[in-house]
């Protein structure tokens, strides 16, 4: 009975690890970065239209790039911080 329980626990841990690895792959994928950039640009452009700001399509590029740059550098800063710790 104990051996069966241990086998089930190992299988549960391996399943959890597969899910964590899949989540990590998604978090670091180019597809996710591209999707975040497109959605951010769309939201900012929509806001600029509603706020009646000039040139919403052009002016939405800067905040989108800023947001994208900040999210892309977080992982690099995290790695650096973990090494220093």
Per-10-residue mean pLDDT, the chain, length 85: 82 95 90 92 96 96 91 83 87
Cα–Cα distance, 7 to 13 (Å, whole number): 10
DSSP string covering 21-82, please?
A: HHHHHHHT-HHHHHHHHHHHHHHHHHHHHHTT-S-HHHHTHHHHHHHHHHHHHHHHHHHHHH
The pLDDT tens digits of the residues spanning 57-69 come to 999 999 999 988 8
Look at the chain and report how many structural domains it folds into. 1
Q: What is residue 18's predicted lDDT score, i.e. its pLDDT?
A: 96
pTM higher than 0.75: no
Domain that holds residue 13: 2-84
Q: What is residue 41's predicted lDDT score, i.e. its pLDDT?
A: 96
């Amino acid at each position: 009975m104990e051996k069966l329980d241990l086998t089930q626990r190992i299988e549960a841990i391996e399943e959890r690890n597969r899910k964590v690895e899949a989540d990590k792959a998604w978090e670091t994928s180019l597809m996710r970065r591209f999707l975040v950039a497109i959605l951010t640009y769309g939201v900012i452009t929509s806001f600029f239209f509603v706020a009646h700001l000039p040139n919403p399509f052009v002016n939405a590029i800067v905040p989108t790039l800023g947001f994208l740059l900040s999210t892309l550098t977080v992982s690099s800063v995290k790695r650096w911080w973990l090494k220093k710790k």
